Structure 1
Amino acid sequence: MKKKQRKQPTADLSGLPLTKNETVEITIEDISHEGNGVGRYEGYTLFVPGALAGERVRVRATKLKKQFGYARLLEILEPSLARTEPSCPLYARCGGCGIQHMEYAAQLEFKRKLVEDNLRRIGKIEGVPVHPTIGMENPWRYRNKAQVPIGEQVGGLIGGFYAARSHEIIDMEACLIQHETGDDVIAHVKKIAWKHGVRAYQEETHTGLLRHVVTKVGFATGDVMIVLVTNGDKIPNQDELVAELAQAVPGVKSIVQNVNTKRTNVIFGDVTRVLWGEEYIYDTIGDITFAISARSFYQVNPVQTERLYGKALEYAALTGEESVIDAYCGIGTISLFLAQKAKQVFGVEIVPDAIEDAKRNAQLNGIENATFAVGEAEVVIPAWYEEGNRADVIVVDPPRKGCDEALLQTILDMKPDRVVYVSCNPSTLARDLRFLEEGGYKTVEVQPVDMFPHTTHVENVALLVRSETDAETR
């Protein structure tokens, strides 16, 4: 017998000052962390995508809740001085860049303020300098990797990015935040694959072959990798298709197939094989060369990565005598930067392939004072501590969820002189800084870095010192 679903109670919205689909005029007072304009109508908060602070706008209420609602921007009555015309013709449809309608200087200040607000609201941290966001001289064409879903229409394959909040593929010839080579690769794959009878994967029916095309470009080397993610092992006319791709794309060093036959939104499957060329391409950041495989995590904006890691190295204040732990070390990017100045660096990462890449990258650069271990940082580092290992500096670069509490507690137990926290999420950064501050550390300063122009994402580097340590000696 089928279980009867319990009906969800309907919220009482009778006391609201407006109704759904009603059109009103409001003034936008602020920008939310998601990049939406925030305004009020008779005291009721409305979030308005596409609106900027200071603007007078006409909006239509689209979704109402008891405490707040959402509205669609209909007309800008008084535009902000920070408003600009988006450069991308698909901006209104594509869900890739959320704040391209905001002048770049305003984007940088929005991100600085976002970090400051999170520190105050979540971390209860005030008076700590949050420096102006480090931006790019040219905030376009900065991504070295594209992951493009593939679909089809009458007469051919399409490839682009998903429309906002949907899985509708917006076909595009150019993405202005991707390296130009990525555009060329996608165009060639669509044309050549269709010519050889390759059909696009269909989510609804779990049929078809080509799911995604992933491109990786070495900014410093010009090396190009093409990854074809397929719903099955066999590619029609594989040898001819691969030969044509290799000839069509200048700089291509590697063509790889990844097989993913699962019903999932996760891009990669478990099986990866080289179809043509090398297993790795290479790129450099600063003085360090990195080998990059199809599955390697490698920062997508190498220009800003050098600035981000340079700031982390500055905050670590290494003299050559320090022992450093790099939690969440990935393929060794920060570890190898630190190893140039430290006595010894220990890196830990949960992904075994990443640790193999880290060891390979250390060998590639002749770095012998970096040691890497596989495991969860919150398990491995406490075990090191129990074994009597100590660190003068601990660097953490966790995923968006932030650090596990067990790791934060081990940092407090180890009592390193400095903690350098690299973060991609201001809210979990603020939460974790509060924990460390309550355990005897002081946040000295925070430096935002714009790794992803025209989006609401912001990276940060925060410096913490033990409260009894004089911050001025850094």
Structure 2
Amino acid sequence: MKTLKKNERLLVHVEDLTHEGAGVAKIDGYPLFIHGALPGEEVEIHVLKTLKNYGFAKLIEIKQASPYRVAAPCPVFETCGGCQMQHLSYEGQLAFKQKLVRDAVTRIGKLPDVPVHPVKGMDNPWRYRNKSQIPFGTEDGRTVAGFYATRSHHIVDTDICMIQTPEADAIMAALKTRLQELGIKPYEEETHQGMLRHLVVRKGRATGEVMVVLVTKKRKFPQVEAAIELIRTIVPEAVSIIQNVNPEKTNVIFGSETLTLWGKDIIEDRIGDVRFEISARSFYQINPEQTEVLYKQALDYADLSGDETVIDAYCGIGTISLFLAQKAKLVMGVEIVPQAIEDAKRNAELNGFTNTLFEAGPAEQVIPRWFKEGKVADVLVVDPPRKGCDPQLLGTILGQKPKRVVYVSCNPATLARDLRILEDGGYRTREVQPVDMFPQTTHVEAVAVLELAK
């Protein structure tokens, strides 16, 4: 086997992509990860680092390009950490994401016969984010705003983002040029000086309502009325202008104090026929168009007739719960974040649902107690964080054996791991449907349906 050395230049063939979107080339079986390279390409590389089992290389020149390579439309794609896949055609992105899920289900879940369907993508995979969190700072004496570079807190300065709303672009650019005359200094993370830390922009896709949040170091800041007037002029769709105060020396975005400067405290949106109220700090799905696709798939897999009791573990603000409540006799949701449960109850009331019950607490503790109280589920829906389901919750599912489990996942690896555990406990995975919630990135969501083996 050839021993690779740092700073070597090589011509290599790219075979695959990692789950983070880096190209993979192998030298006598030794994998090199190459940022920006695509499968099928012949590329010249510069070896940056070699470890025992793998190494990293820089792409120098593409000698033979992939037919799926496209020119990234974003001017800061190479440096910004927000997107990883703009250089890959959307067709290529969807194929990559299907392979990610299929490989995980086959290799980790050891379920090679389970169908993993083609990814449900978007007609227009741009400008889909309904929430932007934009850090402000200074560089060489000038105001900068944009997004962080990969794995850093260095702000990549930009006036546009191809996956956020045009309204967010407009406010970001206007504030950047007008801060000085407003007497508002951008915050400096290293020195803990300055005023404006972040700009957060939220938009209701169905309603068109826009909320603008200014995250400041102090409660009192200069020319607040002028700032409000500027925002209202730049974005006439704004119905809510909020200030959040974060005086701490931290990289956490929000502080504990939130004030309404102008307009409403919340904006509204709809996913399907279900209405939601969104505050400055509410959790809410980033891409509501694809959220509707995802939840309709979950509802389809739940296969409800109207007589079922459904438990929604990790229910958040009740987004899936309220979709399920349209077809179920009773939906019970549990979520560890108390504020999310308050939002879920309010959203249920907003939509006139009387067949929902929400409780705050760890799913792995609340659901076993429900079962002991005789609140038994016919169908159980889980939508866990990236780490997957808590082992105790999986044990409860296997002990109580609801007839159907619908698993909504944001991490193919932990989905596959948990499918294997449920399979070993008597369930059979019928199929998996990936959904592209975050075009231009490597992230993929998926919904799986499992039924008790007969």
TM range (shorter): over 0.9
Partner of 2:96: 110
Worse-superposed segment, 382-391 or 278-287: 382-391
User: Is the Cα contact below 8 Å between 2:2 and 2:27 reproduced in 1?
Assistant: no
Structure 2 Cα separation of the partners of residues 104 and 253 of structure 1: 34
| Equivalent residue in structure 1 for 2:48, among 62, 77, 89 | 62
Deviation at residue 152 of structure 1 after TM alignment = 2.2
Structure 1 Cα separation of the partners of residues 337 and 289 of structure 2: 25
Letter in 1 for 2:32: L
2:325 pairs with 1:339: yes
User: Is the Cα contact below 8 Å between 1:259 and 1:270 reproduced in 2?
Assistant: yes
Partner of 1:228: 214
Instruction: State the Cα deviation string for residues 428-457 of structure 1 (Å, max 9, x = none).
Output: 111111111111111110000000011000
Aligned residue runs from structure 1 range 52-451, under 5 A: 52-153=38-139, 156-451=142-437
Structure 2 Cα separation of the partners of residues 194 and 331 of structure 1: 39
Structure 2 Cα separation of the partners of residues 275 and 244 of structure 1: 13
Structure 2 Cα separation of the partners of residues 315 and 42 of structure 1: 45
Partner of 1:9: none
SS at match of 1:234: coil
Deviation at residue 277 of structure 1 after TM alignment = 1.1
Unaligned runs of 5+ in 2: none
What's the TM-score once normalised by structure 2's chain length? 0.97
Instruction: State the Cα deviation string for residues 339-359 of structure 1 (Å, max 9, x = none).
Output: 000000011111121111111
Deviation at residue 156 of structure 1 after TM alignment = 4.7
Partner of 1:457: 443
Deviation at residue 34 of structure 1 after TM alignment = 0.8
Deviation at residue 155 of structure 1 after TM alignment = 6.5
Structure 1 Cα separation of the partners of residues 357 and 27 of structure 2: 58
SS at match of 1:371: strand
Deviation at residue 239 of structure 1 after TM alignment = 2.9
Structure 2 Cα separation of the partners of residues 375 and 128 of structure 1: 33
User: Is the Cα contact below 8 Å between 1:16 and 1:44 reproduced in 2?
Assistant: no
Instruction: State the Cα deviation string for residues 309-330 of structure 1 (Å, max 9, x = none).
Output: 0000000000000000111111
Alignment RMSD (CA, Å):
1.3
Structure 1 Cα separation of the partners of residues 140 and 23 of structure 2: 39
Structure 2 Cα separation of the partners of residues 288 and 450 of structure 1: 21
Worse-superposed segment, 188-197 or 69-78: 188-197
Q: How many residues matched?
A: 454
Instruction: State the Cα deviation string for residues 57-107 of structure 1 (Å, max 9, x = none).
Output: 110000110111000000111111111111112111211110111111111
Letter in 2 for 1:138: N
Structure 2 Cα separation of the partners of residues 36 and 272 of structure 1: 40
Identity %, equivalent residues: 58
Instruction: State the Cα deviation string for residues 95-134 of structure 1 (Å, max 9, x = none).
Output: 1110111111111011001001111221112100000000
SS at match of 1:452: coil
SS at match of 2:48: strand
Unaligned runs of 5+ in 1: 1-14, 469-474
Deviation at residue 283 of structure 1 after TM alignment = 0.7
User: Is the Cα contact below 8 Å between 2:2 and 2:28 reproduced in 1?
Assistant: no
Structure 2 Cα separation of the partners of residues 354 and 379 of structure 1: 18
User: Is the Cα contact below 8 Å between 1:17 and 1:41 reproduced in 2?
Assistant: no
Deviation at residue 232 of structure 1 after TM alignment = 2.1
Instruction: State the Cα deviation string for residues 415-437 of structure 1 (Å, max 9, x = none).
Output: 11110000001011111111111
